[in-house]
Amino acid sequence: MKLFNTHFLRSLLPWLLLLMGLIVTGLASYFEKLEIERNDYRQFAFYCDEVRLKMEARLDTHKQILLSGAAMFDASDSVTRQEWQNFVQRLRSDEHFSGIQGLGFSLWVLPGQLAAHEAQIRAEGFPDYKVRPEGQREAYSSIIYLEPFSERNLRAFGYDMYSESVRRAAMEQARDTNKVALSGKVTLIQETNTEQQAGTLMYVPVYHKNQPVETVEQRRASIAGWVYSPFRMGDLLSKLMANVDEDNKMTHVHLRVYDGRTTEGEHLLYNSAEVSYVGSAQPIVLEITTSFNGTVWTLQFEHISNGLSGNDYSKIWLMQGAGSAISLLLFLLLRSYLNMRANAFKMAHQLTIQLSESEQRFRRLADSAPVMIWQSGTDKLCYYFNKVWLEFTGCTLEQEQGNQWAEHVHPDDYQRCLDTYLTAFDQRQAFTMEYRLHRHDGEYRWIIDNGVPCVGNDNTFFGYVGSCLDITERKQIEDKLANVYAELQQFTYISAHHLQEPARRLISFVRRLRLQLSDEQLGEDVKASLYFIEQSAARQSALVRDIQLYLAADQVRGKNEKVNVMEVIGNVLGQRIMLISETGAQVDYNDLPVVYMDRLRLKDVFSILLDNALGYRHPERAVQIRICGEVKAGRVIFRVIDNGMGIPEEYRERVFGVFERLQVSDNQNSTGIGLAIVRRIIESCGGSVTLQETPGGGTTVVFDLPG
């Protein structure tokens, strides 16, 4: 009976192991699947937040346009129709600001002024003009200016937006708060029967000049009208979504925008696509809200997991296959082990003999190896050193055993060496360390020591085995290279200093000649030559300066500390006040986080980026530069956004090379090293820098620094 039970247990155990292996494999695959889906969701959420930020930025841009229009009315006693048309054409809103259906002005008309108002507009050349819809009301607002004054916009001429409740609520909010207001969902008067889109309107109040507007009652009494823009939501939010498949059939992320905090169909403002789900896969839905001066939109994102944009579960299939194979292998091994256990006692003596022979072979092999080899037991004490080690130290095996070998380690390396060994031993991990070891002739030699734990097939820990190589010559070469590099850097600094002096002298002599000689004495050829010499010397001076900056870009100048970025940018702009005034540039930067680095290199980064934005400006656009920053995971992510000439995508990596410039002009002092300096500084701080296209044209520089 006892023999039967033993045999039964021996037969059952492998099957239990196989079952446990399959269960563990299934659980591991399940948790891996959860992790893949969590990572996908995190990426999806980050993408959704990026779309939200773009949407808020677009609305903020339109807000600035309307404020500029209101400022025009504030600065003038009266704005004529032609002046309004010139103003809108100058803005070129149809080229640079997506989604604006028009830019207009709606006049506030009291009932007693209605007849005179209609007569005045008819006298301007619009004989059929009248305020619509007709009827008696407490007050009217009539659209009298709307540019471009053509096509769809002609339908809105004379329309009383104050007569419709949704528009009226937004107009009253703007009037009473003296702030920009955004209306709820409406159908624009400009819409036709084809390709209809939901609409919304943005309002900025305009008050009569020299009237008090401190209280709500004063604002209501002083209202003169509203500068406004109607938006077709499809046009406003187009091109915000990315990742379209090659056949352009569907995007992997769909966006719906709802007015308010509800997602009911009647509040739908925008739908990026009509979705047809593939198979039985359900989309991942994420809802976030965005607010604009009290108006809330709900953004509903759907992440479609289908054949075009699904998760990669290949790791799971590989894990299941490998786990099943390992479980089956363990099953076969265990069954084989149990079947052989009956013969274990017979084989014990033979295995003991083989083990002894194996140890002898190992020692013969170790003694013939060209490296120093050692072994330690589970008590952390060394019990074996091969012949090469003993010849190196000039000691016997008995003199080295235990911890006696450590007496040959250089005193400056002893504690570090011991800590490394003990830490790795306690954690059963391999280690590599370098230290100086006393040779038999009295010289300390640099040694690289690699130790690995010895573990049996049954995970029994036997101790450590290590091998050592003499790397003294390599260390000497490294020291020489370090000295050569230091000398080369010092030579470069000295050379740069001496190269600066001739350039300064050339510029000084040219200026002295101009002062001492009259225009008749100089002549046109001499003037041109002097200009060429001065420009060449200035370019050489700038080149030498930038080379110095590039060489020192990865070195801390001063000390690392918490630096106020706002203060640094203010100093940089103050040094360029003349250039900013000449170009009419507008630079916006607010509430930037502090960074932890040295102040001088941070100033170099923003100096170079702002010089590029001011120097490579678009000839047909007023220069606009915006600097923003946010903290993520202990890093500060900055964006320097301009509306300049831009950089084609195929050149955005190339321009970070030394002496790389896309546009070369005699009027530009660029040396082609600036962006290389920026990258070198940022990467030395553990960050990265990339270039992106600014929506509407221009370049956005994205980089991160330690917070």
**CA-CA distance, 162 to 141, in Å (whole number)?**
6
- Stretch 584-604: mean pLDDT: 94
- Stretch 270-280: mean pLDDT: 62
**CA-CA distance, 328 to 18, in Å (whole number)?**
6
Say if residues 226 and 106 touch (Cβ distance below 8 Å): yes
DSSP 173-209: HHHHHTS-EE--SB--TT--SSS---EEEEEEEEE-T
Q: Is the pLDDT of residue 311 over 80?
A: no
- Stretch 124-150: mean pLDDT: 91
In the block, tokens 């079947």 appear at: 339
pLDDT of residue 663: 54
Say if residues 142 and 106 touch (Cβ distance below 8 Å): yes
pLDDT of residue 687: 93
With a pLDDT cut of 70, the percent of the chain lying above it is 83
- Stretch 384-413: mean pLDDT: 92
pLDDT of residue 669: 55
pLDDT band at 248 (very low <50, low <70, confident <90, very high): very low
pLDDT of residue 477: 87
pLDDT of residue 522: 72
pLDDT of residue 195: 76
- Stretch 391-407: mean pLDDT: 92
Q: Is the pLDDT of residue 544 over 80?
A: no
pLDDT band at 246 (very low <50, low <70, confident <90, very high): very low
* Chain centre distance of CA 252: 22
Say if residues 191 and 199 touch (Cβ distance below 8 Å): yes
Q: pLDDT tens, 72-95?
A: 898 888 899 999 988 888 876 555
Q: Is the pLDDT of residue 167 over 60?
A: yes
Q: In this structure, what DSSP letter does residue 164 have?
A: S
Higher pLDDT, 315 or 71: 71
Say if residues 365 and 375 touch (Cβ distance below 8 Å): no
pLDDT of residue 499: 63
Per-residue burial over 385-401, b if 16 or more Cβ lie within 10 Å, else e, is bbbbbbebbebeeeebb
Task: State phi, psi for 684 to the nearest 5 degrees.
Answer: -70, -20
**CA-CA distance, 437 to 157, in Å (whole number)?**
93
Q: pLDDT tens, 177-226?
A: 999 999 999 988 888 777 788 899 999 999 999 899 999 999 999 999 99
pLDDT of residue 665: 46
Say if residues 608 and 678 touch (Cβ distance below 8 Å): yes
pLDDT of residue 47: 84
pLDDT of residue 309: 45
Higher pLDDT, 268 or 363: 268
Q: pLDDT tens, 499-518?
A: 666 767 777 777 777 777 77
Higher pLDDT, 702 or 313: 702
Which element (helix H / strand E) includes 170?
helix 165-177
